[in-house]
Amino acid sequence: MAYQAVTTTEVANLIETQYRKRFGMDATERMVIAADFDDATEGLTKVGKQVVIRKISAKNANTATATSATDPATLTWEQDVEAVATANPVFRYGAVGLNAPSRSRLVADKEYRKGVKEQLLRAVTEAVDQSAGDLASALVTNISGSGAVSLDQSLILDGLGKLRTTAKRESDPLGKVDIYFNVHPKQLKNLFSISNYMNAQFRGEMNGPVKTGVVVPGWGLTIKISGNVDDSGGALHNLMHLKEACAIGYNEKPQLLPDQPYALDILLISFVEAAVVTVFDTFAADVQTTNA
């Protein structure tokens, strides 16, 4: 009999398909923007139905005369107008159900559940940070750029100058107060094209962004990259802000419920209830760029 090799068709039941035990995780964004917000529930346990942040307005200094120094009737008096910022919590959740036949036949059940729950937790965390990024497009005081321009040094400094002008002493020009600048990844190519930001001869660093590819502080700003920067109205709204500009508070922080039996099924659920709010519009800037 002539030589004839065994083919894959003849041993179809012997050749096995192997699956890696660890599951790959699809991409989500970390909490970047809201991580630098003020605490809306300072001194409280939670937001409740609504959290109210009380503000005291700036006052005027008046020049006194010899008469007004001793006579209250001649003084210039101010009526302190009550000002508040209010935030209502939003409840968000993620849910996946595993039916009994699928679960019982799933060899990697433990690893699968772990991965699904991690993605559910990431989903609600990302949603909160997206709501934080959305605050930028609602700012009215400091607007720089437009949806027709790319990020460059002039635009960054324009936004920074406007913020420092309106935030005054709160922005601390001596650099002791952090100013955060959240940039969308689509503008990373333009950020890294700014020579005064990138070049070692200007920065005087051995491990600057040219070598590491990592965004580091520049112009007194803590620069952070996030896809949760608001993309709306034909523009990216890159949020530049002081910590006190915006606040975040929780009724429930991002978390997972224990696996929930439901008849023969298992329910996997994540949830969060959080409120974000702009407290001082003048402590932030909406640096708009193209979303291309």
- Comparing CA positions, the residue from 151, 163, 110, 194 lying closest to residue 289 is 151
- Do residues 115 and 254 touch, judged by C-beta distance below 8 A? no
pLDDT tens digit sequence for 168-215: 988 876 667 789 999 999 999 999 898 877 765 455 555 666 555 556
Q: Is the pLDDT of residue 291 over 50?
A: yes
d(CA 13, CA 36): 57
Q: What percent of the chain has pLDDT over 90?
A: 67
d(CA 135, CA 119): 25
- Comparing CA positions, the residue from 49, 215, 239 lying closest to residue 144 is 239
pLDDT of residue 80: 84
pLDDT tens digit sequence for 103-162: 888 888 899 999 999 999 999 999 999 999 999 999 999 999 999 999 999 999 999 999
d(CA 238, CA 163): 13
pLDDT tens digit sequence for 83-114: 999 999 999 999 999 999 888 888 888 999 99
Select the more confidently predicted residue: 253 or 214.
253
Q: 10 Å Cβ neighbour count for 209?
A: 20
Q: Which helix (H) or strand (E) holds 272?
A: strand 265-278
Q: Where are the domains of the chain?
A: 34-56+76-289
- Do residues 147 and 288 touch, judged by C-beta distance below 8 A? yes
pLDDT tens digit sequence for 32-45: 999 999 999 999 99
**Strand pairing class (284-289; 235-242):** antiparallel
